[in-house]
Amino acid sequence: MRSNLRIVSILVVPLTAVALALAVTSCDKNPTSPAPPPTPVPATSTLVRIMIAGAGSVEPGGSAQLSATAIKSDGSSEDVTSRTTWSSTNGGVVTVNSDGLLNGRARGESLVFGRYQTRSASLPVLVLPKDTFRLTGTVSDSGVGLAGATVMVIAGVGEGLTATTDGAGKFAFYGVAGTVRLHAKKDGYLNQIDEIQVAAHRSAEIAMSFAGERRSLAGTYSLTITTKGQCSGTAFPPDARTRTYLATIDQNGARLSVTLSGADFIVTNGIGNHFDGDLLGDRVVFRFGYGYYYYYVSEDAVIERFPPTAFVISGIVDATATSSRISGRMVGVTGMSRSSVAPFYSLTSFCYGADHQFEMVR
């Protein structure tokens, strides 16, 4: 009997320990106990923009160091000059190597771009001899810019520099200073000499006078605008391909003002049947609604009621004038508006081209 009691005693003790262990384990896995807090994830700093810094001017043959700084979303910054891709809009004037070293090659100006990852920035750079400046200007006739005029520095610092005006009559010189004398000339105009004081970067206006008697274009004309080329969008009305109006020209020197009649124009705030132009020798340039972009036109276009909506004409006309006729080509768009009331920006069908026919006959 003693032997049996010893066996029972030995068995009871381990079972009690197991029960206690199970009880503790059960408490640890209680589903109502709170879960431990998640480990915080560090915020990621992203690139917001880059800043380009450096000299805004350099001498021909000189160099200057540029720098690029990345600005991040957490407010921090980092020098990324060596990791920036550099470029110049005018490599004949300015070059930049992979380390951001800028080199001036010839007089002029250029934009220098730096690109890092998805962000870019630019810096305008002038290339000028030491202690000189940039002089820009416009050559005009009665306020109208003259294209193709020749301007030369005939005295002062920069003597011998020559420029030809662009389509808007603009010119620029790089490397002038002090008192300089400019000589402007153009066929059909009297030569003009102006004296300019240059102590900083500045601009100047040169007014030229027409040589001889200016052609008079004032009067009443029959204007015909003929649409050329293929059209897009919904069907373009055949009757809209050729439109004829009565046009009255008022002239003030080189300035021309045209008012249309003879049709049902939709005039909003004085816009819809009027456009202006310039007389430059025998060349005439008219502009109306020329801020178009694909099938959108600007608000100063010619607008004719064309049931159920409106017919829109928008463009730039380059024409030649004689005593009885003004004829040329229109770069622009004709089309049908989505609406019969302003605004008339959007077109359902349109014909965009560079050779629409424009003709005015007295």
Judgement on whether residues 243 and 147 belong to the same structural domain of the protein: no
Judgement on whether residues 312 and 238 belong to the same structural domain of the protein: yes
Q: Is it the case that residue 26 has pLDDT exceeding 80?
A: no
Judgement on whether residues 227 and 353 belong to the same structural domain of the protein: yes
Q: What's the total number of domains in the chain?
A: 3
pLDDT band at 323; cut points 50, 70, 90:
confident
Judgement on whether residues 121 and 138 belong to the same structural domain of the protein: no
Q: Per residue in 85-97, pLDDT tens?
A: 999 999 999 999 9
Instruction: Report the C-alpha dihedral over residues 248, 251, 254, 257, rounded to 10 degrees.
Output: -40
Judgement on whether residues 189 and 240 belong to the same structural domain of the protein: no
pLDDT band at 221; cut points 50, 70, 90:
very high
The token pair at 7 is 């066996």
Domain stops at, among 183, 207, 231: 207
Q: Per residue in 97-128, pLDDT tens?
A: 999 999 999 999 999 999 999 999 999 999 99
* Residue at 7 is within a domain: no
Report d(CA 170, CA 187) in Å as an integer.
17
Q: Identify the CATH number of the domain in which residue 186 sits.
A: 2.60.40.10
Higher-confidence position of 342 and 182: 182
Answer for the pair 159, 143: CB distance below 8 angstroms, yes or no. Answer: no
Judgement on whether residues 225 and 357 belong to the same structural domain of the protein: yes
Q: Is it the case that residue 15 has pLDDT exceeding 70?
A: no
Report d(CA 86, CA 72) in Å as an integer.
20
Answer for the pair 361, 222: CB distance below 8 angstroms, yes or no. Answer: yes
* Residue at 178 is within a domain: yes
Judgement on whether residues 101 and 191 belong to the same structural domain of the protein: no
Q: Per residue in 184-199, pLDDT tens?
A: 999 889 999 999 999 9
* Lowest mean pLDDT, pick from 38-42, 165-169, 259-263, 325-329: 38-42
Q: Per residue in 35-75, pLDDT tens?
A: 677 766 556 889 999 999 999 999 999 999 999 999 999 99
Answer for the pair 205, 184: CB distance below 8 angstroms, yes or no. Answer: no
The confidence score (pLDDT) of residue 30 equals: 54
The confidence score (pLDDT) of residue 247 equals: 97
What domain range is 316 assigned to? Answer: 219-361
* Residue at 16 is within a domain: no
* Residue at 5 is within a domain: no
* Residue at 245 is within a domain: yes
Higher-confidence position of 291 and 333: 333
Judgement on whether residues 169 and 225 belong to the same structural domain of the protein: no
Judgement on whether residues 103 and 169 belong to the same structural domain of the protein: no
pTM beyond 0.75, yes or no:
no
247 three-class SS: strand
Judgement on whether residues 72 and 172 belong to the same structural domain of the protein: no
Domain stops at, among 207, 229, 249: 207
Answer for the pair 336, 236: CB distance below 8 angstroms, yes or no. Answer: yes
Q: Per residue in 275-295, pLDDT tens?
A: 999 998 888 999 887 654 444
* Residue at 20 is within a domain: no
Domain stops at, among 127, 161, 196: 127
The confidence score (pLDDT) of residue 299 equals: 65
Judgement on whether residues 237 and 327 belong to the same structural domain of the protein: yes
Judgement on whether residues 89 and 192 belong to the same structural domain of the protein: no
